[in-house]
Structure 1
Amino acid sequence: MSRDARQDGRRGGQAAVRAVGVLGVLVLLLGLPWGARARLPEPLATHWSGAHPDNSSSLTAAVLFPAGVWVVGAAVAEAVRWHGGEQARLWAAVATAFGGALLTGIQVSIVSANLDRPSWQEARPLGVEVALVLAAAVGSGLVAWRLARRGGPGPRPVTAADGPRLDLPDGQRAVWLSRAVNPWLGLLAAVAGLGAAGAALAGFAGLGGPSWAAAATLAVVALAGAACSSVQARVTEQGLTVAFGPLGRPSRHWAPEQIASARAEQRSPAEVGGWGYRLSGLGTTVMLRRGECLVISPREGTDFAVSVDDAERGAALLNALAARRNAAG
């Protein structure tokens, strides 16, 4: 598969994850009050003066108004993402994450405050919930900022000739960076994460005890899927670092003197036993997509391979750095 085809697939996977996120927030905004309608007053409190309710709305309005705001805001953000530059796409991601967390938090607070109350005037006062919702929204925006900045295009090749070993003059530094993304694992993580969030929010709102067990299970699935959905390989003077997941954690590192040799090799999931972090007769392989892999042979231990683009250039730089370090030693 060509690099352009892989990049097209990555963009399609990212779009699918965004769509799941938008639909997931919409389901939460509609489903939380509608699912609890038998336990809510009609109308219900939707505005507080200080800690006490001072205005109300019908259940229908409480369901549809935030959902409409979310749909319009998400559509505007997506239009900015497609027609704006890199900075516009970054801010669109931040605004979408902030708005989704804010609207969802407000909806959860409203449902929780009105739950099992005979009238909207007797809705529970809101206090610390406001600060928690704002903190969650700001935190979501910051996470989106970091993820959007890390989600740049694939490899940045070093400025030197191709080959099994680069000719690096003394004192010259070079950096090689490449990424690989499995959009389907990312989609699985997004769906499980939204399910975990929905179950946790239902628990916070008082809609059922079993929600916490479901939230914990789905959270584990989401974290595992996120950690296996992307990988980044980076070669510098300090050696090779392979970082997992959108946040780059966890990671593995090899110093140049720990590497006997590096090479590029074609591998498939069938050869290594499947997708993700695999152990086989070929050693350890991080298999996110079939094809070119960067393979190192450590001086101690088995081979380690990671499926990233431009693996031959990364291997050449690693060999040059290892040779330079061995000569200096």
Structure 2
Amino acid sequence: MQKNGARWGAAVWVVGVSAVLAALPVTASGRLPDRLATHWDGGAPDGSMPLWAAALLPALAWAVLALSIALAGRLGRSPAGPWVGASLLSGGVFLAGAQASIVRANLDRTDWKDAASVGGEVAITAVAAVAAGALGWLAGRRAALPAGPIRPSAGDIMEIPAGERRVWLSRTSNPWFHLIGAVAGLVAAAGTVAAAGGLIGVEWALITPFAFASLGMFAFASVQARVTEAGLEVAFGPLGWPVRRWAAGDIVSARVESRRPAQVGGWGYRLSGLGTTVMLRSGECLVINPCKGSEFAVSVDDAERGAALLNALALKQQANA
């Protein structure tokens, strides 16, 4: 499910960036000259394209780039690798920013030779592209973290031989959350690019709600639960933040329980009579009963072994206390 969500998000991003690149000059065509300045030597334009080419060629270049990245990732057997997310995010941000800069420079000009300079806008775009690439790299690295191997254990308490340490890791995601987050993010990005291109003012009433909706959906579209000697850690989103932690000694018991969205009040991070539930898919959940506070449940796969390991670690902490 984690990979499916990432693929959906990447597909929406690729299609959305293509649409923005092609639509921006066409939308502003009534305020643009027949040919657009597309290349500058220092501060003066020295190259141009007809409007149709300025709209089509960047979109085609982006499609080729995205296809090449996807193909290289598949051939390298790492379609969700860190460099894939970094390349898609940085490439899309840079091309969209460059297209907005070109449109803004040509806006309300009668001749492409009179286009304004784009030096400052290109510098800002480059910084934004680097920042987006860094976020994509961090998210990809986190998604690629391997789970520590543990052997199956019968019963509710895992037997841990003396001198050995066990680690349990499980992830899950909701592809619909990823899709909604990607669509909301594209609406916010399209508004930002349109404002950067001078087509509209900075419409905060449009950009801000969709930007926050996108961040919120992505933050809780995926979850990772990890059990180590330190206890339980539940991290949210592609960057693993925010995080909730419980020390092994602060957990009374852990168990597996099947829960449905209707039982806990819906999807996402829910508070109900059952305590707190992170509901990303219906079915088995890892449920802990902490010493303080209400129960906490998270819908992840292989919850039985996670609960068994937590119970073993909790008993060990109590015995050493």
**What TM bracket, shorter-length normalisation?**
over 0.9
One-letter amino acid of the structure 2 residue matched with residue 141 of structure 1: G
Q: 1:207 deviation in Å?
A: 1.5
Q: Is the 8 A contact 1:185 1:229 kept in 2?
A: yes
Distance 2:268 2:148 in 1: 24
Q: Relative to 1, partners in 2 of residues 1:80 and 1:228: Cα closer, same or farther, differing over 3 Å?
A: same
Instruction: Please report how far the alpha carbon of residue 205 of structure 1 lies from its aligned counterpart in structure 2 after TM superposition.
Output: 1.9
What whole-Å deviation, never above 9, does each CA across 1:229-279 have from its counterpart, x for those lacking one?
A: 000111111111111111111111111121111111111111111110111
- Greater shift, 139-148 or 281-290, is seen at 139-148
Greater mean deviation of Cα atoms: 181-190 or 109-118 = 109-118
Show the 5 A alignment for 1:50-89.
50-86=42-78, 89=81
1:18 aligns with 2:17: no
- Aligned-partner Cα distance in 2 for 1:182–1:124: 45
Q: How does 1:62-211 map to 2 (within 5 A)?
A: 62-86=54-78, 89-152=81-144, 156-159=148-151, 161-209=153-201, 211=203
- Structure 1, residues 107-128: CA drift from partner, whole Å, max 9, x if none? 0110111112232122111222
Count how many residue pairs are aligned between Structure 1 and Structure 2.
321
Q: TM-score, normalised by structure 1?
A: 0.92
Residues 78-103 of structure 1 deviation map (CA, whole Å, 9 limit, x = unaligned): 22233322289543433322221221
| Cα distance in 1 between the residues matched to 2:32 and 2:83 | 37
Give the secondary structure class of the aligned counterpart of 1:296.
strand
Q: Counterpart amino acid of 1:263? A: R
Name 2:319's counterpart in structure 1.
327
Matches within 5 A, 1:245-256: 245-256=237-248
Contact 1:98 1:137 (C-alpha < 8 Å) held by counterparts: yes
Q: Unmatched 5+ residue regions in structure 2?
A: none
Normalised to the residue count of structure 2, the TM-score between the two structures is: 0.94
Q: What is the SS of the residue equivalent to 1:101?
A: helix
- The residue that corresponds to 1:27 in the other structure is 19
What residue number does 1:4 align with? Answer: none
1:156 positional shift: 4.8
Give the secondary-structure state (helix, strand or coil) at the position aligned to 1:94. helix
Give the counterpart letter for 1:181 in structure 2. S
Offset of 1:162 from its aligned partner?
3.4
Structure 2 residue corresponding to 1:302, chosen from 273, 276, 294: 294
Deviates more, 1:173-182 or 1:117-126: 117-126
2:255 is aligned to 263
Please give the secondary structure, in 2, of the residue aligned with 1:179: strand
Supply the AA of the counterpart residue of 1:94. Answer: A
Amino acid at match of 1:57: M
Letter in 2 for 1:275: W
Unaligned stretches of 5+ residues in structure 1: 1-6
| Superposition RMSD in Å | 1.9
User: Would the aligned equivalents of 2:222 and 2:238 in 1 still touch at CA under 8 Å?
Assistant: yes
1:237 to 199, 205, 229: 229
**Distance in structure 2 (CA, Å) of the matches to 1:305 and 1:220:** 26
Structure 1 residue 228 displacement after superposition: 1.6
CA distance in 1, matches of 2:59, 2:140: 25
Aligned to 1:86, the other structure's residue is in SS state: coil
Q: d(CA) in 1 for partners of 2:221 and 2:92?
A: 23
> Residue type matched to 1:254 in 2?
W
Could you tell me how far apart the structure 2 residues matched to 1:92 and 1:151 are?
12
How far residue 153 of structure 1 moved from its aligned partner, in angstroms, is 8.5
